[in-house]
Chains A and B, each alone.
Chain A
Amino acid sequence: MSTATTTESKELAPVSAESLAALLVSEQRPPRPSAWSASMTFGWRAVLKIKHVPEQLFDVTAFPIMMVLMYTYLFGGALAGSPEEYIQFLLPGILVMSVVMITMYTGVSVNTDIEKGVFDRFRSLPIWRPSTMVGYLLGDALRYTIASVVMLTVGIILGYRPDGGVAGVLAGIALLVAFSFAFSWIWTMFGLMLRTEKSVMGVSMMVIFPLTFLSNVFVDPKTMPGWLQAFVNNSPITHLASAVRGLMGGDWPADEVAWSLGWAALFVLVFGPVTMRLYNRK
């Protein structure tokens, strides 16, 4: 940094005292932004970051494609007779699994951001306190949507035919993105709580692997031992996978949708306040 300072500051244009003075003459301060507007502004920041570093979309493009291809051809023949048969069952489930897995990057980005000075500036602004966090999640919701579209495209190429049509597919994606938005509050909490990026990753893996694999994403839980069925049948991921599968398949699985939204609300109500407490104490 110091070498850059000496070389570049020589060509730096001087500060213009008059125009600075003119800018400082106190004008009426605008009213504070609403909670919604502040959150959307932080969401815009997340989008700008994607624009500057598009490589970060790797995890919502390449990773989901890999998941669909891998599991369709790995299990397809054994479980359903052929990959084409299996993908009718698998695609909504693997969609849920991949997007829920991608949510854990939220924790990592929160964790790396708080180390930077800009976080202190945000915290010293007179705005709705959760808007910084909501902004992250809005940016991530965009990423979840991209991942969903990518996976659906691959699925359709491989022969997936959703009976629910465009409306069913859109409803399924909307439910998935809404659930993931709520679920991500777990990661904002860990992102603020844990000290290093690595520990955030470690904890995320510990939570996400059992939670997503122990579900009805790959197979019908009926063949599992009773104690596992008890867990799997009550897991939020199972409810969500059933709801998305139903919506895309043309049913209207009202109870599964309600269960998914109920879990989503619970995640926000529990982990939202804990996140904000940590944020205020940081």
Chain B
Amino acid sequence: MSTQMSGLAIETAGLVKTFGETRAVDGVDLSVPAGTVYGVLGPNGAGKTTTVKMLATLLRPDGGEAHVFGHDIVREADEVRGRVSLTGQYASVDEDLTGTENLVLLGRLLGHHKKAARERAAQLLEAFGLSDAAAKQVKHYSGGMRRRIDIAASILNTPDLLFLDEPTTGLDPRSRNQVWDIVRAVVAQGTTVLLTTQYLDEADQLASRIAVIDRGKVIAEGTKGELKSSVGAGSVHLRLRDPDQRDLAAELLRRALDAQVQPEPDPVALTARLGTAAGEDSAAEQSARALGELARAGITVDNFSLGQPSLDEVFLALTGHDTHDTAQPSEDPKDEVAA
């Protein structure tokens, strides 16, 4: 009850899940305020899906506890199931059935009468731009269509909490933007969303708070601003005309930007990671200043680009290692049991 008063949709303490030797989730503490999008960011195998599966009552935790709207996920699993909805990385509708059949099936399972279930299915298909594909089997849908029918199935009854487990993995940029629009519309109606993603920009676009998890542990948590300032504002990539000028350029950048500068394998390229010590200047302002300095020193820049911090950079900043060497065997618990 107390959690409901404090407006938390999810509250976990020391949540643990092990598969054999692997501690897939190793003491996760989360507090997700109701009515917001909360991003869980991490590479493959970090424990994101396992955490979501526990919160959605699909897996039983091996340690710690979790409450969803004040209900214990183990002892009051049925209460939790009544308030949450899950959209996996995989299409979690029946591929052999048509779009309409899937939605009517779920509508019936959620307690709608036949007529109401049919109406709701038709309205959802219409709203999601799937009316033309309503009578097609889902296995003939494109990736973008699958995500849509999947999300439509998840909001048949507007849930209080929606789990979106990597909703845009494998989608092209256009379909990805469309999924983001859907998420925004869902949140605007008061649903809390827990979004897991491997993409920093996705968390940046949608989430108000973000937890970064790695090897089953939360390694950073905060608002987007807090997280970014811990990582830096991004990176500047430069290609010079003359490789002999590279050392001088690196030195100038280091002084002008207070940035870490790294030479690249290419003898004319270098990368500067923008720090936070440069004050409140935006990354663009900092880069403009840096280019000015280089021009004054007579260094010709052939190519210049400014990149947002990538997940790799977030990880490097937070953990000192990059995403590739964190990879555990698999995110999917079934495989892990089999392993």
Identify which of residues 143-172 in chain A touch chain B, using a CB-to-CB cut-off of 8 Å: none
Residue of B nearest to A129 (CB): B78
Task: Evaluate contact between A23 and B94: CB separation under 8 angstroms.
Answer: no
- Bound complex: CA of A126 vs CA of B157, how far in Å? 12
Interface segment out of the listed B95-103, B252-260, B295-303, B312-320: B95-103
Given contacts A24-B158, A24-B186, A52-B137, A117 and B97 within 8 Å (CB-CB): no
Which residues A102-123 have CB closer than 8 A to chain B? 115-118, 120-123
With A117-B92, A124-B86, A281-B60: A12-B142 Cβ-Cβ less than 8 Å? yes
Q: Does A206 contact B (CB under 8 A)?
A: no
Provide the bound-state CA to CA distance between A52 and B191, in Å.
Answer: 35
CB B107 to nearest CB in A, in angstroms, measures 9
**Is B91 in contact with A117, judged by CB distance below 8 angstroms?**
yes
Which segment of B120-128, B198-206, B243-251, B283-291 sits at the interface? B120-128
B110 located at the interface, meaning its Cβ lies under 8 Å from any Cβ of chain A in the complex: yes
Contact with B along A28-67 (1 / 0, CB 8 A): 0111110001100110110011001100000000000000
Contact assessment for B93 and A15 in the assembled complex, using a CB-CB cutoff below 8 Å: no
Whether the Cβ atoms of A12 and B129 lie closer than 8 Å is: yes
For this complex, into which size category does the number of interface residues on chain A fall?
Answer: 35 or more
Contacts of A124 on B, CB cut-off 8 Å? 56-58, 81, 84-86
Residue of B nearest to A195 (CB): B338
Residues B127 and A15 in contact, CB atoms below 8 Å apart: yes
Cβ-defined partner of B111 (8 Å) among A5, A13, A29: A29
Question: How far, in Å, is A254 (CB) from chain B's closest CB?
Answer: 40
Complex CA–CA separation, A41 to B116 (angstroms): 15
Q: Does chain B have a CB within 8 A of A1? A: yes
Q: With an 8 A cutoff between CB atoms, is B148 at the interface?
A: yes
| Contact between chains at B58 and A123 (CB < 8 Å) | yes
Which of A5, A13, A127 contacts B129 (CB under 8 A)? A13
Q: Is A2 an interface residue (CB 8 A)?
A: yes
| Interface presence of B219 (CB below 8 A) | no
Q: Known A45-B105, A118-B94; judge A8-B81 contact (CB<8 A).
A: no
**Which residues, 111 to 147 on B, are CB-close (under 8 Å) to A?**
111-113, 116, 120, 123-124, 126-132, 137, 142-145
Residue A17 is within 8 A (CB to CB) of chain B in the complex: yes
Residue of B nearest to A119 (CB): B92
Please indicate the chain B residues that have their CB under 8 angstroms from the CB of A6 in the complex: 172
Q: Are B144 and A5 in contact (CB under 8 A)?
A: yes
Which residue of B has the minimal Cβ distance to A31?
A: B111
CB of B207 closer than 8 Å to a CB of A: no
A78 interfacial by beta-carbon distance below 8 Å:
no
Chain B stretch 156-181: residues in CB contact (< 8 A) with chain A: 157-158, 170-172, 174-175, 178, 181
Smallest Cβ-Cβ distance to A5: which chain B residue: B143
Beta-carbon contact of A12 and B144 below 8 Å = yes
Inter-subunit contact B129/A23 (CB<8 Å): no
A196 vs chain B, min Cβ distance (A):
10
Report Cα–Cα, A122/B94, bound state, in Å: 10
Check B278 for interface membership: any CB of A closer than 8 A.
Answer: no
Q: How many angstroms between the C-alpha atoms of A9 and B185 in the bound complex?
A: 20
- Taking A5-B144, A31-B111, A281-B60 as known contacts, 14 extra A-B pairs with beta carbons closer than 8 A to each other, sorted by chain A number, are A4-B142, A9-B175, A12-B144, A15-B128, A15-B178, A20-B186, A27-B158, A29-B111, A41-B108, A45-B105, A48-B105, A117-B90, A121-B86, A127-B109
User: 24 A-B contacts, Cβ less than 8 Å apart?
Assistant: A2-B170, A2-B172, A4-B142, A5-B142, A9-B174, A12-B175, A16-B127, A19-B126, A21-B185, A25-B189, A26-B189, A27-B158, A30-B112, A32-B110, A33-B109, A33-B110, A44-B108, A118-B93, A118-B95, A120-B56, A120-B58, A124-B84, A125-B81, A126-B82
**Which 5 interchain pairs have the tightest Cβ spacing?**
A13-B129, A117-B92, A8-B142, A5-B143, A30-B111
